[in-house]
Amino acid sequence: MTYLDKTSLARTIDNVSEALLFGFDILENEKFEIADFLVGQHGAPYSYANTFAPTYEDMKEDLILFTGERVKSRAGKCHTLGEEASRILRKLKIEDQRINTALSESDEGLQKRINDHLSRQGGTFGAYCCKTCSCSLWLNLSAGGLNNNIQMQLAGLNFLKQFRNDEGTWNGFPYYYTLYALNEISSALAIEELRFAASSIEKHLKRRVSIENQYTLRKKFICESILEKAG
């Protein structure tokens, strides 16, 4: 399978994220091609806070998250893709100065935007803007982004905890995308939320799926992985 789609940052991220989730192999030469494409999007038009920019084609349509939810806002799309591209670039584990520079400048741009947001609008350390965007931040942090700030990751999990409800979900958070983020975070950090979610996950897994597609398969895999970690 070819994972790189030079017409779309979103589809490239989605393809590579699927390979990472299921443990599919990505050929070494394609890893370099993917990394080169991502670095080429650094600071390009539509980039959010000097991160990695969606392509012109990406800007024509809603962003469909890895677990199938939609992001309709322009800023939300650009921010989420910037965070997830940073994660993917780190996950490729390629040592290259261009990559290191792009990631460092991306972290710097995001951190400045986060600091501005906290100082001007208040907010919570470890969260960002809306709840979907917070999940994308946690995905980036899970791969060592924003200078591998464990305290920011822990603060994000504490923020999430405030929105727990009796259904085993979190008010206002996209359910499966939140589970996706939690599954990527070190289990030692996220174990409380993984165990909290277990009851709702068991119920969701028992539901009959009318149409099986890439999103239902991903969600099932993520749910089963979390239940295994939650013990």
Per-residue pLDDT tens digits for 167-225? 999 999 999 999 999 999 999 999 999 999 999 999 999 887 778 899 999 999 999 99
Which domain, by its residues, includes 70? 9-230
**CATH code at 94?**
1.50.10
Question: Does some domain include residue 4?
Answer: no
For the chain, how are helix, strand and coil distributed in percent, rounded to 5? 65, 5, 30
Per-residue pLDDT tens digits for 77-99? 999 999 999 999 999 999 999 99
Number of domains comprising the chain: 1
Question: Does some domain include residue 197?
Answer: yes
Question: Does some domain include residue 3?
Answer: no
Query: What is the reported pTM?
Result: 0.95
Residue 42's DSSP bridge partners are 52
Question: Does some domain include residue 1?
Answer: no
- On whether the CB atoms of residues 10 and 63 are closer than 8 A, the answer is yes
CA–CA dist 74, 126 (Å, integer): 22
